[in-house]
């Protein structure tokens, strides 16, 4: 990545307190970018908050539902690059609240892109889609040419957002590109219903993980710092190549692990292979097999992941050991005061 490209570049990050957003903001600041974050809720446990990084950047308090706020932010901060990461990202929540998920992920995306079209049509936007936008397919691995055919609430929300992003690029020639990452993992993910943080947390607590599926769902994965590299690399290339407007890119490690295989790998790495997970087999309406081909990113962007799954997991486990030890100490301290 180019230090010169990011130096003093005005960048807006939506979803900045999430897993990817937190790491992205830190890397952008390391590259001397001028970062502003759109923040809807205060998340005290967020890595961005706990490490004090959030105090180093301007914050715009608001959501994607206000196009006026988005227009004002883009214009006032003279934003050159937008990383649109804000979304409702949990599959289970999407099933419980499909309308809220569609509002956040679909309407939120068109509001942002419409704000760009009205306020600053030269501002580049990188939209976070997902490999789930492809939906179920027997033709694997996914290529970027596969159709968007999500069937379940979360998957449909990403399919729609993906199509809308490319619509704005093709129709209005906005500098918009789409990122379709495999399942992200890394320190800072506070959604313990997800496999990686859930397994680590349960293992450190000495209890077996409850796997809601049958454990045989096949997924590809990507360590969060590799995802940060992917976003920043694509932004650098897109800024000088209009041919990338409307283009989508897959980013993943290119591995095929079942949920159970991933859990067993983590247990072995943490020295607790005796903690056998409990297979509940109650999860429904989920894509069985998902994995993508990232050769387009390698060919056109010269992107390859720096961390394999083992190195990524080692870093992730170390982060949660420190984080959970600290939060336990804080809880004990509060109890002692009381």
pLDDT 10s digits, 257-291:
999 999 999 999 999 999 999 999 887 778 899 99
pLDDT of residue 180: 98
Q: Which position among 77, 134, 142, 154 bears the catalytic label?
A: 154
One-character DSSP codes across 291-324: -B--HHHHHHH----SS-HHHHHHHHHHHHHHHH
Give percent of the chain with pLDDT exceeding 70: 96
Mean pLDDT computed over 232-255? 97
Which CATH number is 157's domain given? 3.40.50.720
- pLDDT computed for residue 177 by the predictor: 98
CA 139 to each of CA 251, 255, 256, 277, 293: distance values in angstroms, whole numbers, following the listed order: 18, 16, 15, 31, 12
The C-alpha angle with vertex 288 and arms to 17 and 195, in degrees rounded to 5, equals 40
Work out the average pLDDT over 133-162: 95
Q: Does the residue 189 lie in any domain?
A: no
Strand 183-185 and strand 257-258: the pairing is unpaired
Residue 226 lies in a domain: yes
The stretches of the chain forming alpha helices (DSSP H) are 3-6, 19-30, 47-50, 67-76, 91-96, 98-102, 108-119, 153-172, 195-204, 224-239, 259-269, 295-301, 309-337
pLDDT reading at 334 higher than 50: no
Beta strand 10-14 with 81-84 is parallel
* Mean per-residue pLDDT over the chain, rounded: 93
For the chain, the domain total comes to 1
* pLDDT, tens only, 75-127: 999 999 999 999 998 888 999 999 999 999 999 999 999 999 999 999 999 99
Residue 191 lies in a domain: no
Residue 260 lies in a domain: no
pLDDT tier for residue 338 given thresholds of 50, 70 and 90: very low
Stretch among 35-49, 202-216, 231-245, 275-289 having the lowest mean pLDDT: 275-289
48 or 91, higher pLDDT? 48
Look at the pTM and tell me if it is higher than 0.85.
Answer: yes
pLDDT, tens digit, 9 for 90 and up, residues 181-199: 999 999 999 999 899 999 9
Question: Among residues of the chain, what percentage have pLDDT more than 90?
Answer: 87
Q: Is 330 a member of any domain?
A: no
Q: What's the farthest any 2 CA atoms get from each other in the chain? A: 61
- Is 154 a catalytic site residue? yes
Q: What is the DSSP string of 244-282?
A: GTT-EEEE-----EEHHHHHHHHHHHTT-TTSPPEE---
Let me know if residue 81 belongs to a domain: yes
Per-residue model confidence (pLDDT) at position 330: 55
CA distance 329 to 43: 19
Range of the domain at 88: 3-183+221-254+291-306
């Amino acid at each position: 990545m180019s230090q010169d490209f990011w130096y003093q570049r005005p960048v807006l990050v939506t979803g900045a307190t999430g897993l990817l957003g937190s790491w992205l903001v830190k890397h952008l600041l390391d590259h001397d970018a001028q970062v502003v974050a759109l923040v809807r809720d205060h998340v005290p446990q967020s890595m961005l908050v706990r490490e004090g990084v959030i105090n180093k950047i301007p914050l715009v308090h608001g959501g994607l539902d206000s196009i006026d706020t988005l227009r004002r932010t883009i214009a006032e901060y003279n934003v050159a690059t937008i990383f649109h990461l804000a979304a409702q990202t949990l599959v289970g929540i999407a099933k419980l609240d499909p309308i809220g998920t569609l509002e956040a992920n679909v309407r939120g995306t068109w509001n942002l892109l419409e704000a760009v079209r009205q306020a600053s049509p030269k501002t580049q936007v990188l939209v976070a889609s997902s490999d789930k936008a492809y939906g179920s397919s027997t033709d694997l691995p996914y290529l970027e040419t596969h159709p968007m055919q999500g069937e379940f609430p979360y998957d449909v929300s990403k399919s729609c957002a993906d199509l809308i992003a490319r619509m704005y690029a093709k129709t209005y020639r906005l500098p918009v590109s789409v990122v379709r990452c495999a399942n992200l993992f890394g320190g800072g993910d506070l959604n313990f219903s997800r496999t990686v943080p859930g397994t680590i947390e349960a293992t450190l607590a000495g209890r077996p993980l409850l796997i809601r599926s049958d454990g045989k769902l096949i997924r590809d994965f990507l360590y969060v710092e590799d995802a940060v590299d992917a976003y920043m690399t694509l932004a650098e290339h897109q800024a000088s190549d209009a041919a990338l407007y409307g283009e989508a890119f897959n980013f993943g490690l290119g591995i095929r692990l079942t949920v159970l295989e991933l859990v067993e790998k983590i247990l072995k790495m943490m020295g607790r292979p005796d903690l056998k997970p409990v297979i509940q087999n109650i999860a429904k309406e989920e894509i069985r097999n998902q994995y993508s081909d990232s050769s387009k990113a390698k060919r056109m962007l010269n992107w390859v992941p720096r961390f394999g799954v083992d190195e990524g997991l080692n870093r992730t486990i170390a982060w949660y050991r420190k984080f959970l030890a600290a939060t336990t100490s804080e809880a004990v301290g509060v109890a002692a005061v009381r």
